[in-house]
Chain A
Amino acid sequence: GQNIDQPTEMTATEGAIVQINCTYQTSGFNGLFWYQQHAGEAPTFLSYNVLDGLEEKGRFSSFLSRSKGYSYLLLKELQMKDSASYLCAVRDRMTGGSYIPTFGRGTSLIVHP
C-alpha cells in the first residue's frame, strides 16, 4: 500500500512564495502528480515528476527526490486565485500490472491580501 502525507492547511500572503511538501512510501513508484482543486470544483492537473529534480512551469514548480520519498510544489508570486486545495498523487504499480494513482488528503492553501 501507500502512505502519502501532506500538511492539512497553509496560509500565505499575496505576492509571496509558498512551498507545499508531500512525503510518500510506495512499493513501485511510477510518477508523482500535483493537482489543484478549487472549492466545489473538480481537481485539475498542475505538474508531473517521475525523475529526480525540478520541473518548472510558469509560477509553479515541482521537485522530486525518489530516494527520500519527497516532493514539493512551489508557488511563486501568489495571487488570491491560488487559494485552493493542492493534492499530491503517487502512481504505483498494482498487483495486476496497472499503474494507478493514489491521492493524499490535500493541502488547503489560503492566500490573504
Chain B
Amino acid sequence: NAGVTQTPKFRILKIGQSMTLQCTQDMNHNYMYWYRQDPGMGLKLIYYSVGAGITDKGEVPNGYNVSRSTTEDFPLRLELAAPSQTSVYFCASSTLNRDRARDEQFFGPGTRLTVL
C-alpha cells in the first residue's frame, strides 16, 4: 500500500492564481481531511469528508473548495490565491471514526505552498 499520497510536493503561486492540490489514498478509508499547518502551529482543519459525495467545512474553509467523487480521491482547490494561504497542507484519511474506536489518521507527506 502506498498509503496517502499528495501532489505536488512544492509549489509557488502568484497572487490571484488558482491550483488544485491532489490527495489519494489506497486504504479504502471513508474519512478524508485537509489540514493546513503554519510555522510553529498545529494543524487546522480546512475541510473533511465522511464518504464519497459528502463534504463539510472545518475551522478555516474560506478560500478553499473540495470535492469527493470517489472514495480514493479528495482534491483541494485554491481559487484566487492570497499570501495568507502560504502554508504546508496535509491530507489525511481514517477508517470509520467509530464511537470510541481508535481509527487513527494516516497523513500524506504534505504540499509546501508559497503565494507571492
Is A44 touching B107 in the complex (CB atoms < 8 A)? Answer: yes
Give the complex CA separation of A39 and B33 in angstroms.
Answer: 21
Chain B's interface size range is 20 to 34
Across the A-B interface, how many residue pairs have beta carbons closer than 8 Å?
Answer: 62
B58 to chain A, nearest CB (A): 8
CB distance from B92 to the nearest CB of A (A): 8
Main SS of the interface on chain B? loop
Please judge, given known A-B contacts A30-B99, A31-B100, A42-B90, whether A101 and B105 are in contact too, CB under 8 Å: yes
B109 x A42 contact (CB < 8 A): yes
A87 within 8 A of B: yes
Instruction: Flag if A42 contacts B107 (CB, 8 Å).
Output: yes
The number of chain A residues with a CB under 8 A from chain B is: 28
Residues of A within 8 A of B43 (CB): 43, 87, 89, 103
Interface, chain A (partner B; CB < 8 A): 4, 8, 30-31, 33, 35, 41-45, 48, 50, 87, 89, 91, 94, 96, 98-106, 108
Give the A-binding residues of B (Cβ under 8 A). Answer: 31, 33, 35, 40-45, 48, 50, 56, 58-59, 90, 97-102, 104-110
Q: List 8 A-B contacts (CB under 8 A).
A: A35-B105, A42-B108, A43-B90, A45-B104, A94-B56, A98-B31, A100-B58, A103-B44
